[in-house]
Amino acid sequence: MTKDMRQTFLQACRALLRPVALVLLRGGVTWREFSALSKSVFVSVATDEFGIRGRPTNVSRVSILTGISRKEVKRQRDLLSEPDEVVAASKSSDATRVLSGWFQDERFRSEDGAPLALPEAAENDVASFEELFQRYGGDTPKQTLLRELLEAGSIGRDENGHYVALRRYHMPIAMDEGNVRFFGSNLFDHANTLCNNLTDPESPKRLEGFAVETEVDERYAEDFRRFLDTRGQQILEEIDDWLMQHRANPGAQSSTCRLGIGIYGIEGDLPKGTPS
């Protein structure tokens, strides 16, 4: 791979990761958690997609492809083989660590296990937010952390002015769980189509395309959104009818596959440094 081609790959990756990073940060996922997850995915893809004659790729080749040590590849593959396929995060955010301590540490829980309402500071050995912060707050200034937790709705204050825990994990912006799932699955489907057309010359090409103009009069942005809502919905309904007409009958012996199409609107500029 030439130096220019490698730079093109990295620029494309930077553009791809910006919306992913935005959603993860709003959901309270840290860089270290993403790093641990991406390591697991690199090992999984290298294992599944680069073997010979359909066999999983051996540990040594996975190590060469990913740049991850053979020992760590083996550890990641052991984790991936577990039923829940959970990869432990190496470090949570300071906000989530404070909330977790609030819910898990007996010092800050009532007899029934619920997190206590905490005064900001206290005397006479009464549990307080100050003490909680000292144990779990990390290197974030206390007032900065408090403001972040309050503004996000992760904690609140009761009628006595004490802090109360409202969530076990910090999420800077509340998001619907179903929509988060759609974000992952829809981004996967679009990227998977692009990947197929880019990297698999023997596979049938899948429909992909876009229509974009960089110099549209801003006055027409809302008209364009309405146009897309109407025409896009019409196209999706036509395709949905076709798919339903060709759905396999229940109990049929024929094999089935997942087919469909996604439509999305384009607004805004590309990230700086991204080739257009």
Q: What is the pLDDT of residues 42-85, one digit of tens each?
A: 999 999 999 887 788 999 999 999 999 999 999 999 999 886 55
The fraction of the chain above a pLDDT of 90, given in percent, is 65
How far apart (Å, rounded) are the C-alpha atoms in residues 72 and 59? 10
Rounded to 5°, the CA angle 93-99-103 comes to 140
CA distance 221 to 266: 11
The closest alpha carbon to 118, from 100, 131, 105, belongs to 131
Nearest to 59 by CA among 49, 37, 40, 68: 68
Cα dihedral 145, 149, 150, 151 sign? positive
Rounded distance between C-alpha atoms, residue 12 and residue 4, angstroms: 12
Give the DSSP letter of residue 157: E
Fill in the amino acid letter for 157: R
Q: CB neighbours (10 Å) of residue 14?
A: 14
Q: Measure the CA–CA gap between 160 and 147, rounded to whole angstroms.
A: 18
Phi-psi region of 54 (alpha: psi -120 to 50; beta: other; left: phi over 0): left
- What is the overall mean pLDDT for the chain? 89
With 70 as the cut, is the pLDDT of residue 171 above it? yes
Residue 180 phi, psi dihedral angles, 5° rounding? -65, -40
pLDDT in tens, 219-247: 999 999 999 999 999 999 999 999 999 98
pLDDT of residue 215: 94
Q: Which residue has the tokens 């012996």?
A: 253
**Confidence band for 90, pLDDT divided at 50, 70 and 90:** very low
Indicate if the pLDDT at residue 35 is higher than 60.
yes
Which of these, 75, 71, 72, 47, lies nearest to 61 by C-alpha position?
Answer: 47
Residue 275 banded pLDDT, cuts 50, 70, 90: low
Residue 89, pLDDT > 50, answer no
Are the beta carbons of 197 and 147 closer than 8 angstroms?
Answer: no
Q: What is the pLDDT of residue 276?
A: 64
Mean pLDDT of 252-261: 88
Mean pLDDT of 202-214: 92
Question: Is 80:40 a contact under the CB 8 Å cutoff?
Answer: yes
Give the predicted TM-score (pTM) of the model.
0.72
The pLDDT confidence band at residue 88, using thresholds 50, 70 and 90, is very low
